[in-house]
Amino acid sequence: MGSPVHRVSMGDPWSRRVHPDIGNERSTPSFDVERLTNILDGGAQNTAVRRKVESIIHSDPVFSLKDNYFMSQNELYEASVQKKFHIQMIAQRLGWLEDSRELHYVARIFSGNLALGLQHIFLNALRSLGSEEQITKWAPLCTTFQIITTYAQTELGHGTYLQGLETEATYDADTQEFVLHSPKITAMKWWPGDLGRSATHALVQAQLICSGARQGMHAFIVPIRSLQDHSPLPGITVGDIGPKMGFEQTDNGFLRLDHVRIPRENMLSRFAQVLPDGTYIKLGTAQSNYLSMVVTRVELLLDEIIPLLQKACVIAIRYSVIRRQSQLRPGDPEAKILDYQTQQQKLFPQLAMAYAFHFLATNLLEFFHHSYNAILNRDFSLLPELHALSSGVKAMVSDFCTQGAELCRRACGGHGYSKLSGLPSLVTRVTASCTYEGENTVLYLQTARFLVKSYLQSQASPGSKSQKSLPQSVAYLIAPDLARCPAQRTADFLHPEVYTRAWAHVAVRLIKDSVHHLQTLQQSGADQQEAWNQTTFIHLQAAKAHCYYVSVKSFTEALEKLENEPAIQQVLKRLCDLYALHGILSHMGDFLHDGFLSGAQVDMLRTAYLDLLLLIRKDAISLTDAFDFTDQCLNSALGCYDGNAYERLFHWAQKSPTNTQGNPAYEKYIRPLLQSWRAKL
């Protein structure tokens, strides 16, 4: 069976033939794989554009990732800058704009292996927080790389708690300048990408002080390196923070400011202004300055986090039909490990999650676009819901993608521990997403605060204005509830309404429970802050249940839109069913707690779940093929489209510098050691 040319890009001799074990998996697909790819891409036209971009990139050897696993930190950094430089040359030649689909697809190819990615974060913040005049001035300088920018928020002593940031920006009315200063070591900016060695300017989040009063966190554009020789400017101490768990190609840095002066015009002023005399004018809400973080969170889901789980699923599931181990029956050939129920139970929930999160993030992106322009025009009515949704979804998706990628790695046994499998780098990269753009526990609790307010709002008189204005994502709080699950047989648990209402029931109960505990503590004399701190574990459970409910509901709604694609709808419904039921089985206590499910119903639900594993098994390879990652994009010896994992793993291992550069330890230590013993024999 031939291989689609666009997927096979390694140029290895084995790619001219497909391993029969993976070829057989593709011989009789139950649905049109190409059509599902188009749906995931948002249309056939987008698929065509993406493949054209991939063809351009893969045809140039400078963009190869094959040597990445053998490079030092310095080599990885230089290679990522080189790739970025060549991308800019191509973009200029072909007219790819900053926010174009083409550059979005470029980012998908390299998955974090391109330098200067914080330029986009800077632009997000500029467009969200800057005035039109500031955008007009600074955006062209960024997009043409006349300056290289980063976003400096996290400090050595503070991260997600933005109100605690210690960097100060004090306004000097005499000179009409802001004086940026790090008053203590913990105020030093720490972790911003591209800061260590690359950036010439930083968007610094700092506490504004004007007319003697603190006005909270604001954003300031600060030059940090000379545009002539790249040396640090006066008052700037800047460098790289050193080795990390992953992202070795990125120069995460530190920045210490010693009374650095910048013009008044360098404070981003869409939602706040400081007049020449030092008068502070507030044009937005206290949450306005967080808008750029919301933008980044929403974009990261589809652009960075979810593709990492998708790739891990592709690699692990492809390898699982190549790897044979033991016998299912005496005398039979060794079985594909994907035919074992335990392997299916490891991998198929991750595959279902990858699809569920795609549709969830797509829904969130649509809501974001609906809300964003209104917020820029100072209509903040949708900002609380957008903040709560983006916080909770980012936390849930990054948590589960991290767990899922690690499960995929472990499901590949010893070979999954090899960097050449591509899986360790996926795991370390997605692990970082649990912390950047908001630590996940803190983000869940942001969602929980929104849920408490929404629940109290839902308790107003039925039909009241307060109830009617309940945000759409929490409208289920006032929907009729079921005290008991109505399912009477196994097949009932495959009805989306049954499991969606089950998740709604548990989310409502946990939210109600969290509010009850909060109120009980306050009534017993605890102040509001202490009562909150003593109930955060319960709030965390409520927020997680709410987010899972939202994700199940978004998946079922995506299925409803596929009525004209019955084959695809059927195979995706199985994944939706599996996703919802896997979540219930994983949190069984929450569903048994108040008798919503009985023990007998849990047995039926588990039977339905295990039956789904067998059904999904038939389409597993086709479902991973639909993600349409090229071989070069996966950069995995185990996960290539042709299935020739063992040949590729051996070939790549031979190219390791440990095999090509000799063994200096032999002459220095091993040979003398051997000779010392020989003399005694």
Residues labelled catalytic = 437
Q: Which two tokens stand for residue 316?
A: 């692990």
User: What single-letter amino acid sits at 611?
Assistant: D
Alpha carbon distance 396, 418 (integer Å): 28
Alpha carbon distance 653, 383 (integer Å): 51
Backbone φ and ψ of 261, nearest 5°: -100, 135
Q: Which of 56, 189, 193 is nearest to 114 (CA)?
A: 193
- Cβ-defined contacts of 586-593 (< 8 Å, 24+): 587/506, 587/545, 590/506, 590/509, 590/510, 590/541, 590/545, 591/485, 591/502, 591/506, 593/509
Alpha carbon distance 455, 497 (integer Å): 23
Alpha carbon distance 358, 212 (integer Å): 48
| Angstrom distances, CA of residue 80 to CA of 6, 268, 449 | 24, 30, 40
Pairing of strands 168-172, 149-152: unpaired
H or E, element range at 510 = helix 496-523
Backbone φ and ψ of 457, nearest 5°: -65, -35
Q: Quick check: helix, strand or coil at residue 279? A: coil
| Angstrom distances, CA of residue 649 to CA of 158, 335, 552, 558 | 43, 21, 38, 39
For 140, residues 6+ apart whose C-beta sits below 8 A from its C-beta are: 146
Alpha carbon distance 191, 486 (integer Å): 51
User: What single-letter amino acid sits at 481?
Assistant: D
Please say whether the beta carbons of 427 and 405 come within 8 A.
yes
Pairing of strands 260-263, 177-181: antiparallel
